[in-house]
Structure 1
Amino acid sequence: MGMGFSRSGVVDGPGSIQYLRLQRASSRSDVFPKLVAMQKNLRARNFAVFRVAGAGLPNKRKLVCELENWGVLAAEQQDQLMEGYGEIFLDHIEMSVLPLIWTGTENGAFSEAGEFSSLVRQLDERATPFSGVAFPVRLGALGNGYVAFLAGSLALESDLIIDQHVRSCQVMMDLLALDERRSMPAESLSEREVACLQLAGDGRISEEIAEKLGLSVHTVNAYLGSATIKLNSVNRIQAIAKAIRLGYIH
């Protein structure tokens, strides 16, 4: 089963092969337009992507802003948001991936709140001028965080919440993959290693890969083994998943 959003509010399969095959961003400049498109879909005014730092360390957890389009008001808006909901965000992501919504002081409101109440957690009103929705994403210690959208008011619907949560997971996966690629050793995969991984990812066994590429089975296994080592993976399956995530194969 590929990535989906269950009616209980759980995003399924963030590490699945089908999910990883979605087109990955090659740079942060590729991520920004995706967020702008999501902002328009939600009729929001601004967006911000936060990552949880210091996970697992008592009293060290905090939300770090990775991307935003708040402009000159960035610092003020971030301070207001973190002061009002920062601790709630940190506690919530440890227990649930239900999106969070809140109503600001600028006459913010959510249409048809009853329709999607089971898909979200509505927070108590705090002293923030803007309404918002924050989609939590859990991808491991380095990939946990939120994609948040802010406005004076937001008109939300169930299908839109589900779709934008899925897209939020894709954004966070992009950022995590870009971080991993920057930390990769200088030695990159060879064309033969990529070809073997691609065919293995398509479900071919070593004998079939060997026949397809005109190589011996021993040579194919050697290429797959060296690629697994270069990708710092423990087995072929993990190497395929990481190669997809990093954009070497699709």
Structure 2
Amino acid sequence: MGFSRGGTSDGPGSIQYLRLQRASSRSDIFPKLVAMQRNLKARHFAVFRVTGAGLPNKRKLVCELDNWGAGSGEHQGVLVSSYGDMFLDHIEMSILPIVWTGTEKGAYSEAGDFSSLVRKIDDRIMPSSGIAFPVRLGALGNGYVTFLSGSLELGSNLIIDQHVRSCQVMMDLLALDERRSVPAESLSEREVACLQLAGDGRISEEIAEKLGLSVHTVNAYLGSATIKLNSVNRIQAIAKAIRLGYIH
């Protein structure tokens, strides 16, 4: 998913922002979620990953991070049993955030009309109101970043901004998983240099001229880097190298 936002080139909606703010561990992700929770005036957050993608009747939501504290399993169970099936179906068709009204007094306060940006549910199943930001990054990176409270503070700009940040959170989780699966053999300096230039849009001939290598050697370095990163092509290798912090 992606959003186009006005402002400086290093704002929350930019690729540069996503690169610079990359998490090195799960402990780096938690403060980001806490900051988002404060922005939304929420009481709790939970990050769910979709597992079993592509397997009939095997898909389910698995909680990766939350701050429910004691009894977190019970809270997760209530949310999943209430909206889990709908969440799984929704993410296959739409990336609109889902907003629901709880049975507690307050629901959510609205700053302007943001109805076109969300899917609203008013069946009042959950005690708390909430918002769930869907993120689609591929079979292993799909999921939701959810926030719950007696009264959420929502507005168009805030929803867009927090959706972008939710995407970053899921990218961080996916990158951490990929980092653990990367072979012990790391990329060489030449492989990193070739990937960096390829990521900057240079073709093999330009990379060869820049580094003083033959085109054959450049392609060999890019090929070996692609294999080490367990990628199917150069484009996927570049994207993975960015997520893992080899290049920027």
Determine if the TM-score, normalized by the shorter chain, exceeds 0.5.
Answer: yes
Q: 2:120 aligns with which of 122, 138, 146?
A: 122
Counterpart in the other structure of 1:70: 68
Counterpart in the other structure of 1:10: none
Q: 1:177 aligns with which of 169, 175, 178?
A: 175
Q: 1:201 to 1:122 in 2, by over 3 A?
A: same
CA distance in 2, matches of 1:235, 1:165: 29
Counterpart in the other structure of 2:8: none
Conserved 8 A contact 1:3-1:19? no
CA offset digits 1:14-44 (Å, max 9, x no partner):
9x97686454212111111111111111111
Please give the residue correspondences for 1:12-27 in structure 2 after superposition, counting only pairs within 5 Å: 21=19, 23-27=21-25
More contact order relative to length (CA 8 Å, sep ≥ 6): 1
Offset at residue 90 of structure 1 (A):
1.4
CA distance in 2, matches of 1:23, 1:46: 23
Conserved 8 A contact 2:112-2:155? no
Counterpart in the other structure of 1:43: 41
Bigger Cα displacement from structure 2, 21-30 vs 204-213:
204-213
Q: 2:95 aligns with which of 97, 108, 125?
A: 97
Give the letter aligned to residue 88 of structure 1: M
RMSD, aligned CA: 2.3
Please give the residue correspondences for 1:238-249 in structure 2 after superposition, counting only pairs within 5 Å: 238-249=236-247
Offset at residue 185 of structure 1 (A):
1.6
Q: 1:53 to 1:235 in 2, by over 3 A?
A: closer
CA distance in 2, matches of 1:114, 1:83: 31
CA distance in 2, matches of 1:34, 1:249: 23
Please give the residue correspondences for 1:115-194 in structure 2 after superposition, counting only pairs within 5 Å: 115-194=113-192
Q: 1:3 to 1:61 in 2, by over 3 A?
A: closer
CA distance in 2, matches of 1:233, 1:182: 15
Give the letter aligned to residue 113 of structure 2: E
CA distance in 1, matches of 2:204, 2:224: 14
Counterpart in the other structure of 2:58: 60
Offset at residue 106 of structure 1 (A):
1.6
CA distance in 2, matches of 1:71, 1:39: 15
* Structure 1 length-normalised TM: 0.88
CA distance in 1, matches of 2:81, 2:38: 26
Offset at residue 193 of structure 1 (A):
0.8
Offset at residue 3 of structure 1 (A):
2.9
Q: 1:85 aligns with which of 79, 83, 86?
A: 83
Q: 1:53 to 1:234 in 2, by over 3 A?
A: closer
* Structure 2 length-normalised TM: 0.88
CA distance in 2, matches of 1:134, 1:153: 14
Question: Percent of aligned pairs with the same residue?
Answer: 82
CA distance in 2, matches of 1:176, 1:232: 14
Counterpart in the other structure of 1:203: 201
Unaligned runs of 5+ in 1: 7-13
SS in 1 for 2:70: helix
Bigger Cα displacement from structure 2, 153-162 vs 182-191:
182-191
CA distance in 2, matches of 1:129, 1:143: 29
CA offset digits 1:83-106 (Å, max 9, x no partner):
221121112112211101111122
